[in-house]
């Protein structure tokens, strides 16, 4: 069942503040409308990890929580019905979850830990429409070159690591350090193309 937007075209609500996810949906020709938290919503608390929680379990649980919060938001605001899309990305070094750095010092530590090693990037995606839910998980491997303290310091001073899982953005300057990836480049950016398209098709959107 296709949901018409304000202009009569099917669309999806994107419950994410990530400009990269908006850009990817636009690139794929998917019409989308923002569905962002209200000022009194404690959205950050949804991302808290539980003790000893496995990275894959963590990112899927957080995405499911975000989706339920967004669907409640949609109902509360009385907006036109349409599928709601949520996603969450985390970086994992073994079982250790590397979320968004709290400050520059933590960003430097994360990048030093990733230097010269291969880590996982996990992006969970979920779509909800009415009482129905669809979900998928993208897992990719990313190998970093060995970084010097000067490279790390300059990168952190540029501000790019802040707000990014693992303290880096592959589509930015950190992409120069990536020697190899295995998996989904768009998943590493924050919204895996293949998995997202499958979920949106299931929810009734016309996707190529």
- Distance CA(191)–CA(25), nearest Å, equals 9
Backbone torsions φ then ψ of 197, nearest 5 degrees: -60, -40
| Spatial separation of the C-alpha atoms in residues 184 and 191, rounded to whole Å | 9
C-beta atoms surrounding 98 within 10 Å? 24
Nearest to 84 by CA among 52, 130, 30, 146: 130
- The set of residues, in sequence order, having a beta carbon less than 8 Å from that of 129 and lying 6+ positions away, is 3, 81, 82, 83, 84, 203, 204
Q: At what angle do helices 104-114 and 149-157 cross, to 10 degrees?
A: 140
Half-sphere exposure of 108 (CA within 13 A, CB side): 13
Q: Is 113 annotated as catalytic? A: no
Which one of the listed residues 38, 40, 42, 88 is annotated catalytic?
A: 88
Q: Which residues are catalytic?
A: 88
């Amino acid at each position: 069942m296709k949901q018409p937007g304000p202009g009569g075209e099917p669309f999806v609500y994107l419950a994410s503040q990530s400009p990269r996810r908006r850009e990817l949906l636009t690139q794929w020709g998917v019409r989308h409308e923002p569905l962002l938290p209200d000022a009194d919503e404690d959205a950050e608390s949804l991302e808290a990890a539980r003790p000893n929680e496995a990275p894959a379990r963590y990112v899927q649980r957080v995405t499911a929580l975000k989706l339920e919060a967004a669907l409640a938001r949609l109902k509360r605001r009385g907006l036109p019905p349409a599928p709601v899309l949520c996603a969450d990305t985390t970086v994992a070094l073994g079982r250790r979850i590397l979320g968004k750095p709290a400050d520059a010092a933590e960003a430097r530590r994360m990048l030093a830990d990733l230097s010269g090693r291969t880590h996982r990037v996990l992006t969970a995606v979920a779509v909800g429409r009415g009482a129905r839910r669809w979900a998928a998980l993208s897992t990719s491997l990313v190998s970093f070159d060995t970084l010097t303290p000067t490279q790390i310091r300059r990168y952190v001073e540029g501000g790019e690591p802040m707000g990014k899982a693992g303290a880096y953005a592959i589509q930015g300057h950190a992409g120069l350090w990536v020697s190899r990836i295995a998996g989904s480049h768009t998943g590493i950016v924050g919204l895996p193309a293949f998995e997202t398209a499958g979920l949106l098709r299931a929810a009734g959107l016309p996707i190529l």
